């Protein structure tokens, strides 16, 4: 049995009740086969795969808090510190009722490779709670965040583990958590990222994931002898990633003609009006029907049982498709439609928006496909730039952060392209991303001995 298969068996046996974690490990290890086979003896002797699939530690704790009726509520908190071979653990805190240990482990494992790809010194970790922030008052949110941080503060620190936002954890939650950390530990340090601009946050963090996605896409297109100028782009989502992806694509001379939310999608052949979209989504927090009502050229399509959310976006003829909404939103039938319409390039702004079957179909039909691990790494890269600014006790200008972000994304593209070529898989940017991320971490692990 090959070393990869042996370790996959072992991971399955040890983590049988964690399907998401098993899926992530299986996908990553399978794509690493050529690297592992080329170094089998060394990796086996040093138990590299056994070590990289076992978190350094996984912390689970009780989070008691009092709701507005005076009732004590109890949630479960998690922090999985997966691997710190190349830097302090770094990864978001997800607050969502679906959160469990397996999901946090899956996200923490993936984070190791994404963080490594940024070329910045950050290890992999993830955390969160099964707490649902929806419908809670500000006081309840603060009560939860303070209780959560009371326990979490024992395990994190600016040089140890630096959590960030994720689903359900935005600027408000980060603020409450930062305040509690400061109170308990008696120190002001860059222990969390995604902070407000008045207390250590970084300019350009809001734009980072969407802008970064376009910097990488532009480099990919350029290396295939084309430019963004005049390209038609379809985007799904209408949140943080989608809005800034559309904005940057327009600045590059392309035209984005779609966006979507969970209740419907827009086709605007004149090009999405980003200022209007921001007004509807960021200011009014309204549905896309308001966008359609304010813009003559826009066609609105309601989601129905027969019309899956976002699906319509992939029917529109385009050169480039950027899924920026949610997981599993681009299915095999969508991939077929994109290929039939002549789409040349798909880069993922969201995490896992393209199903495995759709990914395979796109790759087999010559579409340049870059997965989220590489394409949306601009968010975490800019969080690492926030850490650098906090360590220096300086704030960089928007232009400075943005220029660094652009350099990082261009570099990521070349790293994943080179890695794929080195192992005879030219054009397979998914394998290239896993390999490039893995190699750096493994070299650091080997250099640091058995730990």
Taking the C-alpha atoms of residue 152 and residue 2, their distance in angstroms, rounded to an integer, is 39
Instruction: Determine if 261 is a binding residue for ligand NDP (CB under 6 A).
Output: yes
Q: Output 127 or 349, the one with its CB closest to ligand NDP.
A: 349
Q: Residue 366 is encoded by which pair of tokens?
A: 């010559």
Residue among 168, 200, 237, 432 that touches ligand NDP (CB under 6 A): 237
- Candidates 232, 326, 363, 406; binder of ligand NDP (CB under 6 A) is 326
Nearest to 31 by CA among 439, 415, 345, 322: 439
Choose among 41, 79, 42: nearest CA to 63: 79
262 and 240 Cβ atoms separated by less than 8 Å: no
- Regarding 258 and contact with ligand NDP (CB under 6 A), the answer is no
Q: What are phi and psi of 204, to 5 degrees?
A: 75, 0
The stretch among 320-328, 331-339, 384-392, 417-425 that binds ligand NDP (CB under 6 A) is 320-328
- The yes or no reply on residue 192 touching ligand NDP (CB under 6 A) is no
- Counting contacts by CB under 6 A, is residue 323 touching ligand NDP? no
Judged by CB under 6 A, the chain residues 411 through 440 that form the site for ligand NDP are none
Stretch that binds ligand NDP, among 83-91, 97-105, 322-330, 411-419 (CB under 6 A): 322-330
Stretch that binds ligand NDP, among 171-179, 217-225, 325-333, 427-435 (CB under 6 A): 325-333
- Give 326's contacts (C-beta < 8 A, 6+ positions apart): 237, 310, 350, 353
**CB of residue 328 to ligand NDP, shortest distance in Å:** 9
Compute CA distances 240 → 38, 206, 237, whole Å.
Answer: 41, 7, 9
Rounded to a whole number of angstroms, the minimum distance from the CB of residue 44 to ligand NDP is 34
Q: Are strands 320-323 and 258-261 parallel, antiparallel or unpaired?
A: unpaired
The residue within the footprint of ligand NDP, chosen from 168, 310, 312, 437 (CB under 6 A), is 310
Tokens 């992999």 found at: 124
Distances from the Cα of 338 to the Cα of 79, 341, 356, angstroms:
39, 5, 16
Task: Kindly report the length of the chain.
Answer: 451
Q: Which of 107, 174, 246, 350 binds ligand NDP (CB under 6 A)?
A: 350
Among 75, 115, 193, 376, binds ligand NDP (CB under 6 A): 376
- Which member of 84, 209, 247, 434 binds ligand NDP (CB under 6 A)? 209
Given 114, 126, 248, 255, which residue is catalytic? 126
Q: Decide if residue 193 touches ligand NDP (CB under 6 A).
A: no
Question: Is 344 a known active-site residue?
Answer: no
Query: Does residue 164 belong to the site contacting ligand NDP (CB under 6 A)?
Result: no
- Evaluate whether 434 touches 25 at the Cβ level (below 8 Å): no
Using CB under 6 A as the binding rule, whether residue 379 contacts ligand NDP is answered as yes
Binding segment for ligand NDP (CB under 6 A), chosen from 72-80, 133-141, 195-203, 261-269, is 261-269
Long-range contact list for 273-282, CB < 8 A, 24+ apart?
A: 274/243, 274/246, 274/247, 274/250, 277/238, 277/243, 277/246, 278/243, 280/238, 281/238, 281/239, 281/243, 282/243
- Nearest distance from C-beta of residue 40 to ligand NDP, angstroms: 33
Name the site residues for ligand NDP (rule: CB under 6 A). Answer: 209, 237-242, 260-263, 309-310, 324-326, 329, 349-351, 376, 379
Q: What positions carry a catalytic annotation?
A: 126
């Amino acid at each position: 049995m090959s070393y990869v298969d042996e370790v996959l068996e072992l991971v399955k046996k040890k983590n049988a009740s964690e399907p998401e974690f098993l899926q992530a490990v299986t996908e990553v290890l399978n794509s690493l086969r050529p690297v592992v086979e080329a170094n089998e003896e060394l990796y086996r002797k040093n138990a590299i795969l056994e070590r990289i699939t076992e978190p350094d530690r996984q912390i689970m704790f009780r989070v008691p808090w009092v709701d507005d009726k005076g009732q004590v509520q109890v949630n479960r908190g998690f922090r999985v510190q997966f691997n710190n071979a190349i830097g302090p653990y770094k990864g978001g805190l997800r607050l969502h009722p679906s959160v469990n240990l397996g999901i946090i482990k899956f996200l923490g494992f993936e984070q190791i490779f994404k963080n490594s790809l940024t070329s910045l010194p950050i290890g992999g970790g993830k955390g969160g709670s099964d707490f649902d922030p929806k419908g809670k008052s500000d006081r309840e949110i603060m009560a939860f965040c303070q209780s959560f941080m009371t326990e979490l503060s024992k395990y994190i620190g600016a040089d140890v583990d630096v959590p960030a936002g994720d689903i359900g954890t935005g600027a408000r939650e980060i603020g409450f958590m930062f305040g509690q950390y400061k109170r308990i530990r008696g120190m002001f340090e860059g222990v969390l990222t995604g902070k407000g601009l008045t207390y250590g946050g970084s300019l350009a963090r809001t734009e980072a994931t969407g802008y970064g996605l376009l910097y990488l896409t532009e480099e990919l297109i350029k290396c295939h002898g084309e430019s963004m100028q005049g390209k038609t782009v379809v985007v799904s989502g209408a949140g943080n990633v989608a809005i800034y992806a559309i904005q940057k694509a327009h600045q590059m001379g392309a035209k984005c003609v779609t966006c979507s939310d969970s209740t419907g999608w827009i086709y605007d052949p004149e090009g999405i009006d980003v200022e209007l979209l921001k007004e509807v989504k960021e200011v009014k927090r309204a549905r896309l029907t308001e966008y359609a009502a304010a813009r003559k050229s826009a066609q609105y399509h309601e989601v129905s049982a027969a019309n899956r959310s976002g699906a319509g976006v992939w029917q529109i003829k385009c050169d480039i498709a950027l899924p920026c909404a949610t997981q599993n939103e681009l299915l095999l039938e969508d991939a077929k439609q994109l290929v039939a319409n002549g789409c040349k390039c798909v880069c993922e702004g969201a995490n896992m928006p393209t199903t495995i079957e759709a990914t395979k179909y796109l790759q087999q039909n010559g579409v340049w496909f870059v997965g989220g691990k590489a394409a949306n790494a601009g968010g975490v890269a800019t969080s690492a730039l926030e850490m650098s600014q906090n360590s220096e006790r300086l704030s960089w200008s928007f232009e400075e952060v943005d220029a660094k972000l652009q350099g990082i994304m261009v570099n990521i593209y070349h790293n994943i392209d080179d890695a794929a070529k080195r192992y005879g898989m030219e054009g397979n940017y998914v394998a290239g991303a896993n390999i490039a991320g893995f190699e750096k971490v493994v070299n650091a692990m080997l250099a640091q001995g058995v730990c």
